[in-house]
Chain A
Amino acid sequence: MAKGKILVVDDEIYIVHILDFSLGMEGYEVLTALDGEQALEKARAEKPDLIVLDIMMPKLDGYETCKLLKAGDDTKNIPVILLSAKGRNVDQKIGFEVGADDYITKPFSPRKLVERINAILGQGTSQQRMQA
């Protein structure tokens, strides 16, 4: 039984692949999207438990996608973690202004991302659960 559904959005296909693998190993069900528009569609249709959202994307960037997600009644309660190559404070500020719940800069550690996701979703890691 999956711990939850995570939507991973990034136009870099390799990043999507590795997050798919890591989150899958952690026991999550992973959905993927390669741009903002796809992400909105999947979020509305699948109601994921959390969204990992890249900022620099074609068509609809991460900020715009996040704003639209937070404006939609059926999606506004889904936690969003922004993921971007931009690392300056101003970007983080904008990230929180558009309603993001957390922010991780690239290059990032997949393990730490998993920890953050677990924390937000109130889940322990697989190891913690085994110990419990």
Chain B
Amino acid sequence: MSFGPGISGSGREDGLLELPGEALALMAEAVLALRTTGDLGVSWGIAAANARRALGACDARLLRVDPRSGALFRFEESGVETPYLAEHGGPVEWVMRHDRPLFDEGSGGSRAPRETLLWQQPPAAVASVPLVAGSTHLGILLVAFDRARNYAAPERVFLQAIADALALALERADLRRTLEDERLRTALAERKLSLAQEAASNLMSILAHELRSPLSSVKAYVETLAGNLDNKSAPRERFLCIIDEECDRLASLVTDVHDLSRIEGGECTLRLTGVSLAEFGRDVCARMEGAAARRGIALTFTCEQDARVDVDAELLRRAFTNLVQNALQFAPDDGRVDMRLSVRGDEWIASVSDDGPPLPAEDLATVFEGFYRARRQLSGGRPSHEGTRVGLAIARSIVQLHGGRMWAEQPAPGDAPAGARFCLALPVRQCASARARRIARQTVGRDDLRQLFDAIVEMVAASLETSLVSLILVDPDRGDLFIAASMGHDPLDVTGRRTTLRSGVAGAVAAWGRPVLVENIETDRRFRRLNHPQYHTKSLLCVPLRVEGEVVGVVNANNKMNGESFDEDDLALLVMLTERVGSAIERACAYPDSRRVVEDSLEAVRCMTRLKRDLALGTRQLVKRARAVARELGVSPADVDVIGYVASIHDIGMVRFEAETGHPGRLDAAQRDAVTAHPEVSVEILRPLEYLGVVRDLILSHHEHWDGTGYPRGLQAEQIPLGSRVLAVVDAWDSMTTARPFRAPRLHEDAEAELRREAGRQFDERVVEAFLQVLARESEQRAVA
């Protein structure tokens, strides 16, 4: 329907009155839906349909402005939002700038840009109305028509009314989103708090109980002393000694509990220093010798094999002291306690055994729980409090903090001493730095990041054309490395597989902080001994992953699909990609509450994968040629890396375009316009990952022509960055010689002739020359092979 001719009026009230009945009903329905429906997808669906019917429009679109970033998102009825880049010189840009509606009548057949990426069919006329609530710009309503038309006043009023209701609905949706975020955050905080409270209250009730024993003694002795002040037969001195001893016990209990809560609460960071195992063990025993000698216990120390280890000596000494104290407590007078240190594989093992009564089998597992009440009988009714019962729990916490484990066992029959044996195993290799672990702690357990990690390994696999990729991260609790995401591995094979720092290729790369290219693992002298049998490929890449400059993991690539070895080009590309991964994680840690930050990175990473998987753009071949040409032109190695990286992702905007049109190749004029926007869309997609301005520049300018006839800015000659000029040539060659669904590949001779013809027009002559050199060298090499 239409509003018919002859209707006029300028004021809003007048216009409203002049709306025909049906239009008024449609408007009322839309406004009501927008005002009352909680689901913006549903109410927008009604509003769009009614606007189309009332105005005879062919399409209606809603663009939302993200209040935090100011970025535009296309809002679909399904509730899905996709980033949208306003077309240069288009109505959206105009409305955003002028903050007023734009009623484009489309007359005169002008081919003004009209947000071609938005529509199924390019429209003839578009009405664009800003959605404003208060002074906040919330979005834009666009209504498209397939015929040129003008807009009568009542129609403008109609659109404004819908826009006002939409603005309110958007504002409400934003508020709800903020509220929801807030609620989630609160719920999370509450859960953490209640866990902490539970742990604290457990600790408190145990502590209350433990404190009561020495307190009972003190009270009983003090009262008895007081009642026997004149009693010469009372052993007053002995009573005072016991009171003193029990006070010490109270004090050390308080210290222990404090330490335990500090260590288990994660407040404790390790100060690692290199120590010799033998010296360390001797030192601990020397300190305990006095206590042992008082009861005639023989404390012996054996070090089967010395090693240098990185530990927090003070903390670990505490753990060992507690173990020895525990053994002394259970050993009989004139008994024996043995401490033994040895190295087994990449772990060092310590054991402390005594010849006291055996530890009941059912207690082997629970003996480390704080305040384990010893069921082992003390010999001779000695006081059971040399060292508090928290000692073993503290020792275990300290060992775990070092990435080790601790257990209790019964000595085999015939072993001496035959009492109980407490053992611990610690990695010989050092743990990750406290800072790396702190950063890693911010990433583990976040579902959104797990998704991002999965997308990252897929993207790396697609970029390097390999079948085996893993993302390995520092474990915040243990300081060793674990596989956070992997592709091509048997999940059962990798779950829970860990490696310590310095061991294996991944551990070594994490410790060195330098990327590594291994051509043949069997002959590579650095790693020959370290190779894991699971990796059957001989060539691999391993690159440290840095966040805030700290190595928090590595990215590993094995099994190149064509069976060749990796080369320096592959390594450089993986380094560049891993840097972006690091910056995405850094952003995610910096804005832990913003879903948008991770979602944007995820979208960018997924686009990178699609670009290579589905469109076969930015393939290894292209990257290698771009790097070769850049080297040929004498560009610095760092710039070669940037150009190679950009070659692998510069067409990423096409991913979105292909998704919109569905059939690459047959383009009408409007779609061609959209294609010309793809460099800008590329930059937009990559924004969450990209921190180098030069990368953005190269991408933006790779469709500029040497003679100034290119897009989007019409730069010419040396104004165009060299990298972009390289990309233009390599890209053109790639698209000319690769088969596409709608076009057979050109012969190499034809393509070469085309390049020469366009040299000085579309392309930089120097770059074309360099490229032809590279091609010539390639065919020479093929001939040799």
- Bind each other: yes
Q: Are B219 and A12 in contact, with the CB atoms below 8 A?
A: no
A17 cross-chain contacts in B, Cβ below 8 A: 242
Residues of B within 8 A of A59 (CB): 375, 377
Decide yes or no: A58 and B373 within 8 Å by CB, A25-B228, A106-B212, A111-B227 being known contacts.
yes
| A107 and B212 form a contact (CB under 8 A) | yes
Q: Which of B220-244 contact A (CB under 8 A)?
A: 220-221, 223-224, 227-228, 231, 234-235, 239, 242
Q: B223, A111: Cβ atoms under 8 Å? A: yes
- Does any Cβ of B come within 8 Å of A18's Cβ? yes
Sort chain B's interface into a size bin.
Answer: 20 to 34
Complex-state Cα separation, A12 to B389, whole angstroms: 13
Quick check: is B376 within 8 A (CB to CB) of the other chain?
Answer: yes
Report chain A residues within 8 Å CB of B246: 14
Assess whether A110 is in contact with B220, with CB atoms less than 8 Å apart.
Answer: yes
Whether A94 sits at the interface, judged by CB under 8 Å, is no
Are A110's CB and B223's CB within 8 A? yes
B217 contacts A14, C-beta separation under 8 Å: yes
**Interface residues of chain B: helix, strand, loop or mixed (majority):** helix
Docked-complex contact A18 and B217, CB < 8 angstroms: yes
Q: Which residues of B contact A21 (CB under 8 A)?
A: 224, 234-235
Q: Which residues of A contact B217 (CB under 8 A)?
A: 12, 14-15, 18
- CB proximity of B499 to chain A, nearest CB, Å: 42
The verdict on B273 contacting chain A, using a C-beta distance below 8 Å, is no
Known: A25-B228, A85-B216. A13 touches B375 (CB 8 A): no
What B residues does A109 contact at CB under 8 A?
219-220, 223
Give the size of the chain A interface in residues (CB under 8 angstroms).
Answer: 25
- Write out the residue numbers on chain A whose beta carbons fall within 8 Å of the beta carbon of B218: 107
Chain B residue at minimum C-beta to C-beta distance from A105: B212
| A110 in contact with B224 (CB, 8 Å) | yes
Q: Would you call A106 and B213 a contact (CB within 8 A)?
A: yes
Q: In chain B between 617 and 665, which residues have their CB closer than 8 angstroms to a CB of chain A?
A: none
Report A5 CB to chain B, min CB distance, Å: 19
User: Is the beta-carbon distance between A12 and B223 smaller than 8 angstroms?
Assistant: no
Q: How far is the CA of A109 from the CA of B239 in the complex (A)?
A: 15
Produce 1/0 per residue, A70-111, CB < 8 A to B: 000000000000000110000000000000000000111111
Q: Residue A35 at the B interface, CB < 8 A?
A: yes
Smallest beta-carbon distance B536→chain A, Å: 56
Complex Cα distance, B219 from A132, in Å, reads 31
The residues of B that contact A13 with a CB separation of less than 8 Å are 381-384
| 7 more A-B residue pairs beyond the given contacts A13-B384, A22-B220, A34-B381, with a C-beta to C-beta distance below 8 A | A12-B383, A13-B381, A58-B375, A85-B216, A107-B220, A110-B223, A111-B227
- B: residues with CB less than 8 A from A are 209, 212-213, 215-221, 223-224, 227-228, 231, 234-235, 239, 242, 246, 373-378, 381-384
Q: List 20 A-B contacts (CB under 8 A).
A: A11-B378, A12-B213, A14-B217, A14-B221, A14-B242, A15-B220, A17-B242, A18-B220, A35-B377, A58-B373, A58-B376, A59-B375, A59-B377, A85-B209, A85-B212, A85-B213, A107-B212, A107-B218, A107-B220, A108-B220
